[in-house]
């Protein structure tokens, strides 16, 4: 199944996702097992950590992605899986002020994990795939 969350409300947490009868809680029920970065796409892959999951796997896809910042603390060391803290669409700052979209129509997203791992990026689309 696919959910498009590109034009979500500013600063609204996207760690809890609902699609009719399906509820996905990325913070409490899933672990991020992969962070895949290619020239135009960033993909985060989550697997369910419950014994009997309704949804087993979730992929977050940022299309036409342009990463502006990645930060991590190497002191925390264990990157076998990550727990998501928050994902939201926000504003970015340049010399002219704060903006929601870039000149070429890209939105700005913040992806924050526990253990001080953070990604900031522009993307034209934010898509959730799950099964």
To the nearest whole percent, how much of the chain has pLDDT over 90? Answer: 79
| Residue 39 burial class via C-beta count within 10 angstroms: exposed 0-12, middle 13-18, buried 19 and up | exposed
pTM above 0.95, yes or no: no
The pLDDT, as a whole number, for residue 115 is 78
Contact 58, 24 (CB under 8 A): yes
Q: What is the DSSP letter of 28?
A: H
Is the pLDDT at 76 greater than 80? The verdict is no
Residue with tokens 């979500």: 8
pLDDT, tens digit, for every residue of 17-53?
998 889 999 999 999 999 999 999 999 999 999 887 8
The CA–CA distances, whole Å, from 128 to 30, 94, 106 equal 14, 29, 17
**Torsion sign (Cα): 80, 86, 90, 93:** negative
Give the Cα separation of 69 and 93 in Å (integer): 13
Give the Cα separation of 39 and 22 in Å (integer): 32
- The residues near 16 (Cβ < 8 Å, ≥ 6 apart) are 23, 24, 25, 26, 27
- The residues near 12 (Cβ < 8 Å, ≥ 6 apart) are 88, 89
SS3 for 129? strand
Q: Mean pLDDT, to the nearest integer, of 62-79? A: 84
């Amino acid at each position: 199944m696919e959910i498009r969350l590109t034009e979500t409300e500013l600063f609204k947490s996207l760690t809890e996702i609902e699609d009719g009868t399906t509820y996905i809680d990325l913070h409490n029920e899933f672990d991020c097992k992969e962070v895949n970065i290619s020239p135009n796409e960033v993909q985060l892959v989550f697997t369910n950590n419950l014994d009997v999951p309704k949804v087993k796997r979730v992929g977050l896809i940022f299309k036409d992605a342009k990463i502006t910042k990645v930060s991590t603390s190497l002191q925390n060391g264990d990157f076998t899986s990550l727990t998501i803290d928050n994902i939201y669409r926000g504003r970015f700052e340049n010399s002219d002020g704060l903006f929601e979209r870039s000149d070429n129509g890209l939105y700005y997203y913040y992806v924050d994990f526990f253990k001080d791992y953070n990604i900031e990026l522009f993307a034209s689309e934010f898509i959730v795939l799950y099964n």
